[in-house]
Chain A
Amino acid sequence: MFPEYDVIVVGAGHAGCEASYASATMGSKTLLITLDMTKIAQMSCNPAMGGVAKGQIIREIDALGGMSGIISDKTMIQFRMLNRSKGSAMWSPRCQSDRAKFTEAWRLALENVPNLDFWQDMVAELIVKDNRVCGVITGMGLEIKAKSVILTSGTFMNGLIHIGEKRIGGGRMGEKASTGITEQLVELGMEAGRMKTGTPPRIDGRTLNYEVMEEQKGDENPSKFSFSDETQSLTTQRSCFITYTNTEVHEILQTGFEQSPMFTGRIKGLGPRYCPSIEDKINRFADKDRHQIFVEPEGWDTVEIYVNGFSTSLPQDVQYKAIKKIPGFENCKMFRPGYAIEYDYFPPTQLKPTLETHLIENLYFAGQINGTTGYEEAACQGLMAGMNAHQKVHEKPNIILSRADAYIGVLIDDLVYKGTDEPYRMFTSRAEYRISLRQDNADIRLTEKGYNLGLASQKRYDDLQAKKQKIADLQHILKDLKASPEEINPTLEILETSPIREKVIIGNLLKRPEITIENLAKNYIPFANVLAEFPIQVSEQVEIHYKYDDYLQKERNMAMRFQELEDLMIPDSFDYSKVQALSAESRQKLPKMRPKTLGEASRISGISPSDISILMVFVGR
C-alpha cells in the first residue's frame, strides 16, 4: 500500500508541518502521519504567533521559505510590533490568530504540496536496523518503509494531563496520548526525561464585562510576518483586553494548593520558569498583590476567550471560583478548565546540529521532544530537520545555521551543545549578536540559503536582489548628501537636538538617538525628496545601518573572537581518554558528543574554560 518514503514525519504540529512542507517541497517523497487529521497545526495553547525573539524566528522561517509566516499572516486577527519603544533592532512582530483558520490554512497549504502524502494513525514503533532507522510500524500494525524519520511528538508521548488531583492520559484535552516509542528508544540506549507545561481556562467571551478592562488594540499601521507579497497586512483587527488578579483571587487559589499536582509533587516534570502557572507566581512572588491577565479572542467569529496569564492545574472548581473574582470576570462562564500536562522528551544533547540523533542514523527530532516550548521554536526545528533529512537521503551537505546567522542557529546550538533542563524558550538575550539578528533583515540573512536549497521561490530570490540593489543605491546617494548648518539647523532645532557647526553628511545625523529617518524626512524637504523614490523596507535598512554602525561592528568583532575557536578543528580520531588533564566530566562527555571544533566543545555544558585551553594546546595551537 505504501511506497518507500524518503522522509516520514511523525506528528503534524508546528514542527511536523514545517518539516513535511520543507522536505516535500525540496523534492523528497514525504509522508506525514498524524493521530487526527482535523488537528493539523493545532494551537494547543495561546492563539498567537510571534512575540519578542519568537517573532524574529517566524521571520527567519519565512525568509528560508517555510510557511509559518504566510499562515500567520493569512489567519491573524490582530498585529502588533512589540518593543517599539526600543531601537528598531529590538522590534518584534506578534499576532493574535484565528485558531480554527490557522489549522485550516496549514492543511490547505500542505495539501497543495506535491510529493506529500498523509496518513492518520499512531506510530507505535520505529523500524531500526544496524542503528539506522528504516521505517515505522503504526498502531494499526502497518509497516511503512522510509529512508529517514522525523519525530515531532509534542506533548503526546506518554502525555499525562493533571487537573487538581485528577489525572487523565492524553496528548491534549480530549485526545489520546501516544505510547511505545519512548520505551523503544530507551531500550536502544537513548536517555529520556519528563517535562511539564500548562494552559489556562477558556471562557465564554459573551459573559465578560470589558468595560472594566483596559483595551489593547492592534497597531495603527499593522505590518506582517512574510517578506513575500503573497499576503497583506490587516485592515480591521480585534482587540485584546488587560485586567489584573487581586489578593482575593490569590486567597481562593491558595485554598486549592493542597490538591495542586505542582505542590504535592505528583508532577515530576520541570515546567518553564518564564511561563509559570498562576499558582506558581503567587507562591514564588508572594509580595506581588496582582498579576496581569490578557484576555485574548480565539478568532474572528468565535466567542471563545483565552485567559493569558492564568495557566493553572488547580481543581476546576477552585479555578472557577477564583477567576470570577477577576475584574470583568464576575459573571463568566467557563468552556473548559486550565490543566497541566507532562510528556516525554529526549535531552537534546543526544542530537547532532542537524537534529539527527547521534545514536540512530537518519532519525531526526524536532519540537517539544527536544525540550523546547513554543510554536515558533517547534516550527523552526521542524523546518531544519525537514531540510536536513532531505539533504541526508539525497547525499547532500548538512544545513547548519550558526549563532551569527539566525536565532534558529542560536536555538539549535543551545539545544545540542548546552541541552536544557526546563522547557526552552527563545529570548533575545540568548543571542550574542542581537543587533545583527533582526526581524527586518531576516531575508537578507537567509533567503539566499533557502533559495539555493530549493525552498524559497525564484520570486523571493529576485525580490531580495532588487531590494539589496535599492539599499545599495540609497546608501550611495546618502554618502554624498550633505547639508550646511544654515540648511539643516532649523530642522535640528525642531527635533530638539544640538545644531551643527560645519557641513555634515546627513546620514551621519541618523546616529543621533533623537533623529529617525521618518522625523528627518518630515522636517527636511531635500531628504524627503531623496527618500521618496525608495520603499520603506529599503530606507529602514539604510537607517539601521547608520544607527547601529558601531554596534554592528562590535558584534562582528565579537563574532570573530569566537570564530577563532570555531576554526580550531578537533580531528575525528582525537582520543580524549589520553588527555589526562581534562576533567572527568569532559573526558566522558566529549567522546560522546564529538564536537567538530573547539568552539562547539566550549559550548557544551560542563566543559570548563580550562578544559578548552588544554584542548587548544593539543589540537595545534
Chain B
Amino acid sequence: MFSSTQNTIIAVATPLGVGAIAMIRVSGKDAFSITQKIWKSKKNLLTQVPNTLLVGTIIDQENTPIDEVVLSIFHAPHSFTGDNTIEISCHASPYIVQKILTLLVENGAKLAQAGEFTRRAYLNGRVDLAQAEAIADVIASENENAHKIAFQQMRGGFSKQIKKMREDFIKLAGLLELELDFAEEDVEFANRGEIQKQVHQLSQNISDLANSYQLGKVLKNGFPVAIVGKPNAGKSTLLNALLAEDKAIVSPIAGTTRDSIEDETTIKGIKFRFVDTAGLRQTDDIVENIGIARTKEKMQASALILYLFDVSEFTPDVLLKNLLEIEQYNVPILLVANKIDIADKNAIHYFENFEEKYQKQIIFLSAHTQHNLENLQNKLADYVQMQPLHQNQTIITNTRHYACLQDTLKALEQVKKSLDQKFSTEMVATDMREVIYQLGTITGEITNNDLLEFIFTKFCIGK
C-alpha cells in the first residue's frame, strides 16, 4: 500500500545498470531536511533558491564521503509531485545508489511504491485522473499497439461502450421496477421472453469484451510466437535473425538449445515475444527431455507457432506427419521452410503445389543469410493486423476491468437463472441491480436514480 502523504518518498528515477549517471528523486514535506542530513557543502539546502542546481558531497553518519553529486531543487507546489522535491544525480554505481538510498531511509524517507510519484501529483492536483492514467499508460506502453489501445481507452471508447450497455440494461431493469412500484397503474408490463433475449445478448457482448482481455494482454506484453521444429532446423538462427542479435547459442550440433529462450522485438510497430524452443525429438537425455516438455508448454501459451523445417530434410508428407503433433495444441501455425540457401532446387520444388493442395502457406527463407526474412516479418505483422484490435474492436487490457466484466457475467448468469426458474419479479430485479452495479463499478456510476429517471421519462405514471 502507498504510504501516507505526510511521508517523504524516494526512488531511483533512472534505469538501474544503464548509463553513467543515476538520478534519485526525493519528494515530500521533509525532502530538504532529510537530504540536508547526508549533505556536505558550503551551501545549506534549506535556504537554497528554488529551481537551482547545487554541487556537493553525500556523506554517511561517520562523515565518510560517498559520492560527488549534483542536486536539483524544486519547491512545492512547483514540482512534478507538487511537494518539495530534490533530484540527486550521482554516479551510477549500484553500490553508490544503494548507499544513498539506505542513508535517506535511515534519515526518515520511505521507498516509493510503483506509481507513487504520479499518485502524489494526482492528489496534489498537479494532474487529473485521466492524465495520471495517461502517464501510467505512456510509461507502460512500449510499442505502437499498446499505444493504440491506450489511446482508444483514453478517448473513452471502452467506457462509452460499457455506459451504453449499462444504459440499455437500466431500461430493461426499469421495466421490472415499473411492475414493482406501479402495480396499480395502467401500464403494460415487460414481456419476459424479450427480457431473456436481451439479457442473453448483453451476456454475449460482455463475454466478447472479456475475451478480448487475453488479446489485449498479448498486445500489451508482446505477441507471443513460439519457434518450433526438429533439432537443427535453425530455430535459434532464426531467432537471432529476428532479434538482430546473438541471443541464442547457435551450433551445428542438434540439441544445442536445451531450454527455451525468449526475447522481444518490434516489427512494424508491433511488439512480438519470440520463444526459441528446444527441438522436438525422441531422446533419452533427461535435460533435453525437460526442455522438450517445456517446449510443449510454450507452444500452448503462444498465440502463433512458427513451424520451422529444413527444406532439404522434409518432403510434404513428412511435413504433414510432423504437423499432426503440433496441431493438437490448437494454436495457429505458420510454416517456414529454412535453409533455402543451401538447399537443392528439387527440394524446394517438392513444395510447389503444397499451398493449393493443403491450404497451408509456406514461407521460404534462409535464417542464416536472412534471405526472404522480410517476407516472414511482413507475414507476422499482417497476421497481427488481422486481429480484432485492427477491426476497431474494443480490447480490454486493464485487469480491474477484466475482473469487473467477469463479475458482470456472473451477475448476468444469475439473472438468467432467476428468469428461467420464474422467480418473482423482485428477485429478478435484485439480480438485475447487481448487473447494473457491476457495470457501474467500471465507469464509476452507482445509483438507483437512473432507474426512476428512465421510468419517469418513458411511462405515463401517476393517478
Q: What residues of chain A have their CB less than 8 Å away from a CB belonging to chain B? A: 46, 51-53, 82-83, 85-87, 89-90, 272-276, 281, 284-285, 288, 291-292, 294, 308-309, 311, 418, 427-430, 432, 434-435, 513, 548, 551, 554-555, 558, 579-581, 608-610, 614, 617-618, 620-621
**Smallest CB separation, B272 vs chain A (Å):** 36
Q: Report, nearest first, the 6 A-B pairs whose CB atoms are least far apart.
A: A580-B125, A87-B424, A609-B444, A292-B186, A285-B460, A429-B177
Supply 27 A–B pairs (Cβ within 8 Å), ascending by A: A46-B463, A51-B184, A52-B180, A52-B184, A83-B180, A83-B183, A86-B179, A86-B426, A87-B425, A87-B427, A274-B461, A274-B462, A276-B460, A281-B460, A281-B462, A285-B460, A308-B463, A309-B463, A427-B452, A428-B180, A429-B452, A432-B433, A558-B434, A580-B124, A609-B446, A614-B122, A617-B119
Q: Contacts A434-B430, A551-B430 hold; do A86 and B183 have CB atoms under 8 A apart?
A: yes
Interface 1/0 per residue, B51-93 and A, CB below 8 Å? 0000000000000000000000000000000100000000000
Q: With an 8 A cutoff between CB atoms, is B182 at the interface?
A: yes
Contact A90 B426 (CB under 8 A): yes
Closest to B437 in A: A558
Complex Cα–Cα for A284 and B459 (A): 10
Measured CB to CB, the closest approach of chain B to A537, in angstroms, equals 21
Kindly list chain A residues whose C-beta atoms are within 8 Å of the C-beta of B327: none
A435 & B125 in contact (Cβ 8 Å cutoff): no
Contact assessment for A429 and B448 in the assembled complex, using a CB-CB cutoff below 8 Å: yes
Q: In terms of DSSP, what is the predominant structure of the interface of chain A? A: loop
Any A CB within 8 A of the CB of B123: yes
By a CB distance below 8 angstroms, the chain A residues around B180 are 52, 83, 86, 90, 428-429, 434
- Given contact pairs A87-B425, A513-B421, A273 touches B430 in the complex (Cβ within 8 A): no
A19 to chain B, nearest CB (A): 28
- Nearest to A554 among chain B residues (CB) is B430
Are B427 and A82 touching (Cβ within 8 A)?
Answer: no
Verify B430–A86 contact, CB threshold 8 A: no
What is the chain A residue whose CB lies nearest that of B82?
A580
Contact of B426 among A89, A294, A430, A432 (CB under 8 A): A89
Taking A90-B426, A291-B186, A617-B2 as given, write out 10 further A-B residue pairs in contact, using a Cβ cutoff of 8 Å, ordered by the A residue number.
A85-B183, A86-B183, A86-B424, A274-B461, A281-B462, A292-B186, A427-B177, A429-B455, A581-B122, A621-B1
Q: CB-CB < 8 A to B444: which residues of A?
A: 608-610
Give the residue among A275, A434, A555, A614 with the most B Cβ atoms within 10 A: A434
Assembled-state Cα–Cα distance A429/B455 (Å): 11
Q: How many A-B residue pairs have CB under 8 A?
A: 118
Residues in B neighbouring A52, C-beta threshold 8 A: 180-184
Task: Check B451–A429 contact: CB distance below 8 A.
Answer: yes
**CA gap between A513 and B449 in the complex, in Å:** 29
Contact A275-B452, Cβ < 8 Å, known A90-B426, A609-B446: no
Asked whether any CB of chain A lies closer than 8 Å to the CB of B423, the reply is yes
What CA separation (Å) do A87 and B426 show in the bound complex? 7
Q: Does B128 reach chain A (CB closer than 8 Å)?
A: yes
Q: Is the CB of A430 within 8 A of B128?
A: no
Residues of B within 8 Å of A558, CB to CB, are 434, 437
Answer whether A432 and B462 are a contact pair too, CB < 8 Å, given A52-B184, A53-B181. no
B5, CB-defined interface residue at 8 Å: yes
B416-452: CB near A (< 8 Å → 1, else 0) gives 0000011111110110011001000000111011011
A285 to B426, CA, bound (A): 27
Which residues of chain A come closer than 8 Å to B293, judged between CB atoms?
Answer: none
| Cα(A284)–Cα(B182), bound, Å | 18
- In Å, the complex CA distance between A581 and B426 comes to 40
Residues of A within 8 A of B179 (CB): 86
CB distance from A57 to the nearest CB of B (A): 14
Which residues of chain B are within 8 angstroms of A272 by Cβ–Cβ distance?
Answer: 462
Interchain CA distance A186-B4 in the complex, whole Å: 43
Known A-B contacts A52-B184, A581-B125; the reply to A435 vs B426 at CB < 8 A is yes
Question: B313: CB under 8 A from chain A?
Answer: no
Asked if B181 and A284 sit within 8 Å, CB to CB, the answer is no
Which residue of chain B has the shortest Cβ distance to A548 in the bound complex? B427
Question: For residue B462, which residues in chain A have a CB less than 8 angstroms away from its CB?
Answer: 272-276, 281
CB distance from A206 to the nearest CB of B (A): 23
Measured CA separation A311–B456 after assembly (Å): 18
Q: Are B125 and A551 in contact (CB under 8 A)?
A: no
A430 to chain B, nearest CB (A): 6
Q: Does B287 contact A (CB under 8 A)?
A: no
A386 and B60 CA atoms in complex are apart in Å by 69
A618 to B122, CA, bound (A): 12
B185 close to A (CB within 8 Å): yes
Q: Are B123 and A617 in contact (CB under 8 A)?
A: yes
Q: Are A609 and B452 in contact (CB under 8 A)?
A: no
